[in-house]
Amino acid sequence: MTHSYPLHPGALSIDDFDYPLPDERIAQYPLAERDASQLLLYKNGTISQSVFRNIGEYLPTNSLLLFNDTKVFQARIIFYKSTGAKIEIFCLEPSAPTADYQVAFSNPGQCYWKCLIGNNKKWKSGSLKLSVNIDGETAILKAEKIEQMGEASIIRFSWEPEHLSFAALLDQSGLVPLPPYIHREADTTDKDRYQTIYARLKGSVAAPTAGLHFTDRVFKSFVQKNITSAYVTLHVGAGTFKPVSAPTLGEHEMHAEQISISAQVLKQLITLSEEGEPKTIIPVGTTSMRTIESFYWLGVRRLKGKMDEGNPVVKQWDPYDPAFDTGVSFHDSMKALLDFLESSESTILIASTQLIIAPGYRYRVAGGLITNFHQPRSTLLLLVSALIGDDWKKVYSYALENNFRFLSYGDSCLLLP
């Protein structure tokens, strides 16, 4: 593994993380069976391949897999103006008075969301209306533009009858938010297949795609090797898959995403770090990786007295700040977070992260990664490079030469540096 990068990634040129990805290699549909995808294996610099349903054979005995249990919601709503103009509203995240997804989904009568507007120039003013049938009851959903925020707008949604939840309205009227590189409309199979089988908490506009390959059969195969599971949450925003457009990483502002971890999982991780035989923690997907590494840095912030307890945030460059990087153990960081939850009599810690993981980053928690193949010039590719160095080029060349399918509905790889 060759690491030829500076200690601080701000100087990195994004041109060094480009590769040719032909359109025909981007999977447009999922395979008939989730666990039938190809699996690229990278271990200590050596590359081989298998089928995903056999992944348990290649995972370290007694390892812990860390999953993101977020659930994709049907974030795209199509309205038509009286003129016939089609307006698409893409819900990104809830806005004031609440940033809590579950509250925003369950609120009766109205809610505010930060949204992207398709065909925005055709919607100058006024409200849009949509008739929705829910269990034989007709509901009227109304959208009004409140404020412009850069590329996005704050939209006030209101509806009658008011007793209905926004979640129920989206379930009936919304469309699955497939990524822009999938060149087709979402169909009924995407409701199931663009969702992990363990998805629990609604809030993502994109699936944590590494988890799409897992089946009950795969989970059952872990028992023999004592491979266990834990769940965290990161609500995936549209920015996750956006390529870096700035020439250097220092000019790129990382998107913020909401993350959460329960006291129960913190206790599980603390116990894990106290056991004599060290266990390998392997995040499933880049979102799980960013979540657990972010919570490590949040614990460091608390120990340094720099955590905003009302609005805990991990900033983009925290890990690269010498004031933070003072060798705090994973155990002590998790213990600091658990102590905070217990002192505030809470069972779940909700925070936000802007953490960017790029070459120069030293992993504090993860000992490997299960992931799909990512877009050129993306922060996700930078995260992979931080784990396996320049060998990412070998991995991606192998995948291209051996007919692996790329991106969300594509194949998978297990990276064990």
Q: What is the pLDDT of residues 258-302, one digit of tens each?
A: 999 999 999 999 998 876 666 899 999 999 999 999 999 999 999
Look at residue 285 and tell me if it is in a domain.
yes
- Is 188 a member of any domain? no
pLDDT in tens, 24-58: 999 999 999 999 999 999 999 999 999 999 999 99
Structural domain span for residue 367: 9-71+195-416
Residues 313 and 394 in one domain: yes
67 in the same domain as 85: no
Token digits of residue 46: 């050596």
Alpha helices in 28-67 (DSSP H): none
Residue 307: both structure tokens together: 């955590």
In a domain, 367, yes or no: yes
One domain, residues 218 and 270: yes
Shared domain for 407 and 279, answered yes or no, is yes
Give the pLDDT mean for 368-380.
96
CATH number of domain containing 289:
3.40.1780.10
Regarding whether 119 and 42 lie in a shared domain, the answer is no
Which pLDDT belongs to residue 6? 46
Q: What pLDDT score was predicted for residue 4? A: 43
Highest-confidence range of 148-152, 241-245, 301-305, by mean pLDDT? Answer: 301-305
Residues 146 and 293 occupy one common structural domain = no
pLDDT at 302: 96
Amino acid at 181: Y
For residues 104-112, average pLDDT: 89
> Which of the residue ranges 195-204, 255-264, 318-327, 397-406 would you say has the lowest mean pLDDT?
318-327
| Domains in the chain, number | 2
Residue 51 belongs to some domain of the structure: yes
Q: What value does the mean pLDDT take over residues 313-331?
A: 90
The CA-CA-CA angle for residues 34, 38, 39, to 5°, reads: 105
Helix, strand or coil, per DSSP, at residue 211: helix
pLDDT at 122: 87
Question: What are the percentages of helix, strand and coil residues in the chain, rounded to 5?
Answer: 30, 30, 40
pLDDT band at 241 (very low <50, low <70, confident <90, very high): low
Q: At residue 129, does pLDDT exceed 70?
A: yes
- Is position 228 within any domain? yes
What's the pLDDT score for residue 2? 40
Query: By the 8 A CB rule, do 144 and 131 touch?
Result: no
CA atoms within 13 A on the CB side of 389: 12
At residue 278, the pLDDT reads 66
Does residue 232 sit within a domain? yes
Assess if residue 323 is contained within a domain. yes
For residue 276, the model assigns a pLDDT of: 60
28 & 49 share domain: yes
- Regarding whether 86 and 67 lie in a shared domain, the answer is no
H/E stretch holding 155? strand 152-160
Look at residues 145, 175, 205 and tell me which one is the last residue of a structural domain.
175
Q: What sign results for the dihedral spanned by CA atoms 162, 166, 171, 176?
A: positive
239/100 same-domain check? no
Report pLDDT for 317.
Answer: 94
Which has the higher per-residue pLDDT, 105 or 337? Answer: 337
Q: CA dist 80 to 143, 147, 314, Å?
A: 11, 21, 40
Question: Are residue 115 and residue 160 in the same domain, yes or no?
Answer: yes
pLDDT-derived band at 1, boundaries 50, 70, 90: very low
> pLDDT band at residue 5, thresholds of 50, 70 and 90?
very low
Residue 174 to residue 268: CA distance in whole angstroms: 37
DSSP state of 90: E
The pTM of this model reads 0.92
% of the chain at pLDDT higher than 90: 73
User: Cis omega before residue 161 (within 30°)?
Assistant: yes
Do 264 and 378 share a domain, yes or no? Answer: yes
Any domain includes 320: yes
The pLDDT > 70 percentage for the chain reads 97
Residue 190: enclosing H or E segment and its boundaries? Answer: helix 188-193
Of 400, 392, 380, nearest to 417 by C-alpha is: 392
pLDDT grade for 97, boundaries at 50, 70 and 90: confident
Q: Are residues 81 and 17 in the same domain?
A: no
The structure tokens listed for 309 are 């307890």
Region of 150 please: left (phi>0), alpha (psi -120 to 50) or beta: left
